[in-house]
């Protein structure tokens, strides 16, 4: 019982740390895919080229569709076109424990594509 009482807190911190790391990697993958989608949307050939506001709205809609709100999207028009997504990740598995040490984690994804 004594060993269990000593090891259980460390085991739980490790377990929730692994869970939190998986959630962070998931969030990074989502914002990376959102920046790719926005860049692809912006560089596709059309008779009326997409504006910066249209590209940013497209990425925001993509992020809201998967449940991510509060991201900052910046599209830079030109050749090549660049789309940057900044997201402030809030810890979920151990929010009070981790956030006390680090605060929030700022994730960023940037995609650059040439115009078609």
Per-residue pLDDT tens digits of the chain, which is 116 residues long: 888 899 998 998 899 889 989 999 999 999 999 999 999 999 998 888 899 999 999 999 999 999 999 999 999 998 899 999 999 988 877 766 665 666 778 999 999 999 87
Is the whole model's pTM more than 0.75, yes or no?
yes
CA distance 92 to 17: 10
Tell me how many domains the chain contains.
1
The domain of 53 spans 2-113
Residue 72: predicted pLDDT: 96
Number of helical H runs and strand E runs in the chain: 3, 3
pLDDT for the residue 99: 57
What pLDDT, on the 0 to 100 scale, is given for residue 98?
Answer: 61
pLDDT at 38: 96
97 φ, ψ to 5°?
-70, -50
């Amino acid at each position: 019982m004594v060993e269990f009482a000593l090891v259980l807190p460390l085991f739980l911190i490790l377990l929730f740390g692994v869970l939190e790391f998986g959630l962070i990697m998931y969030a990074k993958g989502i914002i990376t895919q959102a920046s790719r989608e926005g860049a692809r949307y912006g560089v596709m050939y059309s008779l009326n080229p997409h504006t910066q506001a249209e590209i940013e709205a497209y990425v925001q809609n993509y992020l809201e569709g998967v449940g991510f709100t509060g991201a900052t999207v910046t599209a830079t028009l030109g050749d090549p076109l660049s789309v940057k997504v900044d997201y402030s990740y809030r810890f979920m598995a151990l929010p009070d424990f981790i956030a006390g040490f680090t605060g929030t984690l700022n994730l960023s994804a940037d995609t650059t594509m040439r115009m078609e």
